[in-house]
């Protein structure tokens, strides 16, 4: 019998996004989302399928990808976000933001949940990756959590 292919899903959620929208307005929020989308698109592989799920959440489908490889891909995305400067000095001066608050806004992070399944149904992938993402948020944000970790700890 032929082994079925593993499909992985990564969910990426922007940490503290509401705070960005409330502090700077929706236009700035949209700018941040576009920049995040670009980071994701430049970090993922050609075979990966990237889409925006809702306001501040992105999903990535990784065909023929086992969990460990999906975790490595997720960590590349998370690391790339940490290294991205979202705003320049002119923006902060325009917004009249004090120096010590600038750093907090320039370091935008993401929380990531992922799952990998054979014979995966889209609804199950989304549910499991969503549960892992919720755990990443609960555990302090700026983390990547695998769904399989949740199963082992319950």
Q: What is the DSSP string of 61-87?
A: EETT--HHHHHHHHHHHHHHHHH----
pLDDT (tens place) for every residue of the chain, 154 residues total: 455 689 999 999 999 999 888 888 899 899 999 999 999 999 999 999 999 999 899 999 999 999 999 999 999 999 999 999 888 767 766 667 777 666 667 789 999 999 999 987 889 999 999 999 999 999 999 999 999 999 877 6
Rounded to two decimals, the pTM is 0.89
Q: How many angstroms separate the CA atoms of 12 and 133, rounded?
A: 8
Q: How many angstroms separate the CA atoms of 77 and 93, rounded?
A: 29
| pLDDT value for 1 | 41
Q: Using CB atoms within 10 A of its CB, is residue 99 exposed (0-12), middle (13-18) or buried (19+)?
A: exposed
Contact between 79 and 34 under an 8 Å Cβ cutoff? The reply is no
Report the alpha-carbon angle 34-36-37, nearest 5.
Answer: 65
- What Å distances lie between residue 120 and 64, 92, 115, 127, CA to CA? 11, 45, 10, 11
Beta partners for 11? 59, 113
- DSSP code, position 146: E
Which of 87, 36, 44, 40 is CA-nearest to residue 65? 44
Q: Give the number of other CB atoms < 10 A from CB of residue 15.
A: 19
Q: What is the CATH number of domain 6-153?
A: 3.30.70.270
| pLDDT value for 87 | 80
């Amino acid at each position: 019998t032929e082994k079925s292919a593993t499909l992985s899903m990564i969910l990426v959620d922007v940490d503290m996004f509401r705070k960005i929208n409330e502090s700077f307005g929706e236009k700035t929020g949209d700018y941040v989302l576009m920049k995040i989308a670009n980071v994701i698109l430049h970090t993922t592989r050609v075979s990966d399928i990237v889409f925006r799920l809702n306001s501040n959440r992105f999903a990535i489908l990784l065909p023929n990808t086992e969990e460990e490889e999906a975790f490595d891909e997720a960590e590349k995305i998370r690391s790339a976000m940490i290294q991205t400067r979202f705003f320049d000095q002119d923006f902060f001066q325009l917004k009249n933001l004090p120096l010590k608050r600038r750093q907090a806004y320039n370091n935008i992070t993401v929380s990531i949940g992922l799952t990998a399944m054979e014979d995966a149904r889209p609804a199950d992938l989304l549910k499991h990756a969503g549960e892992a993402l919720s755990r990443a948020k609960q555990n302090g944000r700026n983390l990547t959590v695998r769904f399989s970790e949740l199963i082992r700890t319950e």
